[in-house]
Amino acid sequence: MRSDFGLGAAVVATVLLAVPQPVAAADPAHRAAPAGCAEGGEDSRDRSSVHEGEIRWKDETGFDDALARANRVWSTDGLAQVRIRSAASNSAADLRWRDVNRTGPGWKNVYGKWSSGPGADTVHLNRAYLGDGRRRGDTRARRVVAAHELGHALGFCHKSADRYATLMDADFGRLPEDGRPTKGDRRNYHRLWG
């Protein structure tokens, strides 16, 4: 009886070993090339807030619902290669979420902005447009903008919705209503992060 079990296990093991493994999962060096950007260039791990496979963030925004939703849509349903979590109060952050209230040069019609800098990178959410009673001052718009900006923190550049639906289009009017990464965004995530 033991020999039958042993033979059966050997056959199963042989069959499992014969199934080819996906190249990206087997060797990150063979991952698909990053997706191209609307302005030229391509998605980049080097232009991201990711450090050692994670983004540790600090909350300095009043738009907590939008921040929480952005974290959720970029870290669930198969998008778990980069861990997104709150930084402990006594530890350094990779990303800070902050509010601004600007409409001047560089901020006209800018609802949010991700910027890289020394120390922690920053996502700015602009109260001038996202605040209550403002042009985009509703829950849906705030969530869409926050998810778009977190996409930049993950290393994604602007894409063109002329090619495929994307959360990373520069035009707010063309972003998905639900503020979730699209099929194309999910494909780009896996190209960049495995």
> What domains lie within the chain, and their CATH numbers?
32-193 (3.40.390.10)
Residue 30's pLDDT is: 47
Q: Give dist(CA 176, CA 181) in Å, integer.
A: 8
On the question of pLDDT at 27 being above 60, the answer is no
Q: What is the pLDDT of residue 134?
A: 97
Using DSSP's 3-state secondary structure scheme, residue 162 falls into coil
Band (11; pLDDT cuts 50, 70, 90): very low
| Mean pLDDT value across residues 91-109 | 97
The three-state secondary structure class of 114 is: strand
- 32: confidence class by pLDDT, cuts 50, 70, 90: confident
List, in order, residues 6 or more apart from 104 with CB less than 8 Å away.
none
Amino acid, res. 115:
S
Structure confidence at residue 9 (pLDDT): 37
pLDDT at 33: 81
CB atoms within 10 A of CB 167: 26
State the average pLDDT for the chain: 87
Residue 31 has a pLDDT of 61
Q: DSSP alpha helices (H): ranges in 32-105?
A: 64-73
pLDDT category at 3 given cuts 50, 70, 90 is very low
